[in-house]
Structure 1
């Protein structure tokens, strides 16, 4: 379950071929980490289109919704009827092929890193690398108590600071990637957007 949510919830950084990559100096790294930490802490609500790329190259498109602390939703475009939703306590994955859902407490998954009220790039999270390409600032993270369990690399535009992509490599080397488009922040979501519902109940698909 832990690796499942690790792969699905935390999505993409994908390097553009032939991008120039440079390691930040210690001083630059500390400043970059501080700016990213503040940006993520201030990111309370958001909506974006996303493209998710699985390890086998399969791609899925949909809409991502965020309301921190505790809530998010990944809604995939038709004909894919899967969705992921965190309601502030649990995170649910609905598998439309099986017609059933699985769930876990948010605090037992790595979604907790992104959804917690006090988001810091320290403590139970370790910053392994800070790098820059021609386009992005990249920060690679691991769990402090399980550094071999996989990596999460976040990619940001810096002017202005904007989350663009993230990439997960799990302990087995499987890669899940997602890129965000048209991210809007500081928005108001409908009250039931982050509630789990059984699609058979007839409630709407939020992408329609």
Structure 2
């Protein structure tokens, strides 16, 4: 079924047999412009407190889904998928929870175990425990590829940003097996008021009636 293909789409689940780990850009390969652009990206990301946007998600196999994304830095994210996808993604309290509403089955991993968690840090620094492995400019867009220095084999995330003015438009997560998931944002709003309770997760298995197996 199509929705089962979507389930691991944000590359949150732990995977065996990792692909070849990405490599860092050599410091000598960075021009003054490169360093300036990385500083701009760093400042932009750290300037985001809250964000709301529509998203379209495309998995490696071409399966698609869409919905509404919320981010409240540090540490909080919520992806509400439009029907018929019965999926919910919530990040809070150091955990990512991916929930299938039909199966009533949550999958939980630490925020720090996925490259997507880089976006939710209190302070995003594109050096040290985060490594830049790619920097490209094309067609008015800036693409920056990152991975967690201590665990490169878990995967990487590429941020695609409009360059003038700087704005996050898309990210691509490549998991440890080399599978890519693309998330494209539209109707982006930042600096908006969000409710803290939006990012709480009360396990629906304890709030719903028994499953009808007939």
Asked whether the two chains share a fold, i.e. TM above 0.5, the reply is yes
Deviation at 1:79, TM superposition (A): 1.6
**Unaligned 5+ runs, structure 2:** 1-7, 14-28, 209-214
Which whole-Å deviations, capped at 9, do the CAs of 1:64-95 have from their partners, x for residues lacking one? 00111111101100121211101233221101
Q: Give 5+ residue unaligned stretches, structure 1.
A: 10-23, 203-208
CA RMSD of aligned residues (A): 2.2
Is structure 2 residue 139 aligned with structure 1 residue 127? no
Quick check: which has more Rg, 1 or 2? Answer: 2
Answer whether contact 2:153 2:176 (CA < 8 A) is retained: yes
Q: In the alignment, is the contact (CA less than 8 A) between 1:47 and 1:63 conserved in 2? A: yes
Correspondence list, 1:71-110, <5 A: 71-110=76-115
What's the TM-score once normalised by structure 2's chain length? 0.78
| SS of structure 1 residue aligned to 2:70 | strand
Tell me the distance in 2 between the aligned counterparts of 1:89 and 1:144.
Answer: 19
Q: How many Å apart are 1:169 and its aligned residue? A: 1.9
* TM-score, normalised relative to structure 1: 0.80
Determine helix, strand or coil for the equivalent of 2:185: strand
Match of 1:53 in 2: 58
SS at match of 1:117: coil
Of structures 1 and 2, the one scoring higher in RCO (CA 8 A, sep 6+) is: 1
Q: Which residue of 2 aligns with 1:7?
A: 11
Q: Is the 8 A contact 1:82 1:96 kept in 2?
A: yes
- How many angstroms apart in 2 are the aligned matches of 1:171 and 1:62? 25
TM-fit CA distance, 1:112: 3.1
Q: Is the 8 A contact 1:51 1:179 kept in 2?
A: yes
SS at match of 2:140: coil
From 133, 140, 145, the equivalent of 2:145 is 140
Q: Secondary structure at the match of 1:74?
A: strand
In the alignment, the residues of structure 1 paired with residue 101 and residue 59 of structure 2 have an alpha-carbon distance, to the nearest angstrom, of 18
Q: 1:49 deviation in Å?
A: 0.2
| Equivalent residues in 2 for 1:172-187, closer than 5 Å | 172-187=177-192
Which position in structure 2 is the counterpart of 1:159? 164
Deviation at 1:173, TM superposition (A): 1.8
Shift of 1:130: 1.1
Q: Report the number of matched residues.
A: 185
